[in-house]
Amino acid sequence: MNATKTRLAGKTIVVTGAAGGIGAAIVGRLEHAGAEVIALDRTSTAAPPVRGFDVTDAQQWRTLADGHAGPIHGLVNCAGITRRARLQEVTPADMTDTYAVNVLAPLLAIQTLSPLMPVGASIVNIGSIAALTAHYPVAYTTSKWAVRGLTHTAALALGESGIRVNIVHPGFIDTPMTASAPDAFRSASIGETALGRAGSVADVAGTVEFLLSDDAAYITGSEITVDGGATSHGGVKSISDALRTATTASSITKESA
Ligand code: NAP
């Protein structure tokens, strides 16, 4: 029997942002692992079935919870939006819009679904390497730092109920969200990545599957970067690369002298 096809068998898992790049990959991965997935997104789709749902609407979460029979074993808070304004240009609307989707919505989801969760259930928030750095878009970065805080608070609060809460921080992943960024953002991001490539949605989905599974039974309050090493060097990659270029140039000069 293929282990990956049964890893999440019997589990019901809610995924938000399910019509987006990373969310759709997570849904596919979880279904492949045997889970029954309740896929939610602002944009509903017929195939695969994604239910139209505004994650910022507390009443819609209440209706979902009240109308669901049986336990919920997992929740993936993947819906997210970005606003790219810098410090002096960011507006109050940028801040409230990003916080509503990236912070308030995961809180509402956790508040309404955790009472339906049995011991061993798992919640995965999708953060970002923006939550670990001084990434320039202020509204997005601060909202991701906030959901990181929510993750740790929820892990502590729900630990006594046997519910695990973790956060995954993707680096630069090719999706509709990043497709709207300038080309310079993509190339500079890859330039800071130890593995020298953009991440794929499958890279993130595999980590999420692991955290939802019983293989991660003793992991809670943890942060896992899926960033190709972009944050591990603390910003010194460009220095290292510059010195390598300088060293190579100087040895060529010496050899040819
Ligand atoms: P995406 O393709 O834009 O997917 C996000 C999905 O969330 C979209 O389908 C979006 O719908 C939906 N959504 C937004 N607001 C919603 C709401 N109020 N209610 C329900 N659904 C809503 O983006 P992605 O790249 O897959 O990102 C997924 C997550 O990964 C986000 O949390 C993002 O911050 C995080 N992340 C992404 C990257 C990356 O490089 N791509 C890196 C780090 C972290 P609309 O299309 O209608 O807005």
Q: pLDDT tens for residues 43-56?
A: 999 888 999 999 99
Distance in angstroms (rounded) separating the CA atoms of residues 226 and 220? 17
Q: Which of 31-35, 96-100, 112-116, 232-236 has the lowest mean pLDDT?
A: 232-236
DSSP 4: G
Give CATH for domain 12-256. 3.40.50.720
Q: What is the pLDDT of residue 21?
A: 96
pLDDT band at 3 (very low <50, low <70, confident <90, very high): low
DSSP state of 127: -
Residues with CB under 6 A from ligand 1: 17, 19-23, 41-43, 53-56, 78-81, 101, 126, 128, 170, 172-173, 175-178
In this structure, of 25-34, 196-205, 231-240, the range with the lowest mean pLDDT score is 231-240
Chain centroid to Cα 13, Å, comes to 16
Q: How far is the CA of 175 from the centre of ligand 1 (A)?
A: 9
What's the rounded Cα separation, in Å, for the pair 217 and 91? 42
Among 64, 75, 108, 175, residue to substitute to test ligand 1 (most atoms within 8 Å of Cβ): 175
**What is the distance between the alpha carbons of residues 186 and 74, in angstroms, rounded to a whole number?**
32
Least confident of 22-36, 65-79, 132-146, 241-255: 241-255
If you count them, how many residues does the chain have? 257
Q: What kind and span of H or E run contains 96? A: helix 92-99
Rg (Cα) of the chain, in Å, rounded?
A: 20
Query: Does an H or E element contain 144, and which?
Result: helix 138-159
Which of 26, 41, 147 is the best mutation target for the ligand 1 pocket, counting ligand atoms within 8 Å of the beta carbon and taking the most? 41
- The pairing of strands 74-77 and 51-52 is unpaired
Q: Where are the domains of the chain?
A: 12-256
More confident position, 132 or 254: 132
Residue among 128, 211, 127 nearest 163 (CA): 211
52 phi/psi in degrees, rounded to 5: -65, 125
Question: Which H or E run includes 239?
Answer: helix 237-256
For residue 255, what pLDDT is reported? 64
The pLDDT value recorded for residue 1 is 41
Examine the residue annotation and report whether 140 is marked as an active-site residue of this protein: yes
Could you give the angle at the alpha carbon of 99 between the alpha carbons of 66 and 177, nearest 5°?
95
Evaluate if residue 77 carries a pLDDT over 50: yes
pLDDT at 256: 62
**β-pairing verdict for 223-226 and 12-16:** unpaired
Residue 165 or 257, more confident? 165
Please provide the average confidence, as pLDDT, over all residues in the chain: 95
Q: Say what the pLDDT of residue 254 is.
A: 67
Centre of ligand 1 from the C-alpha of residue 144, in Å: 12
What would the two tokens of residue 31 be? 């279904």
pLDDT at 225: 98
Ligand 1 centre to CA of 242 (Å) is 34
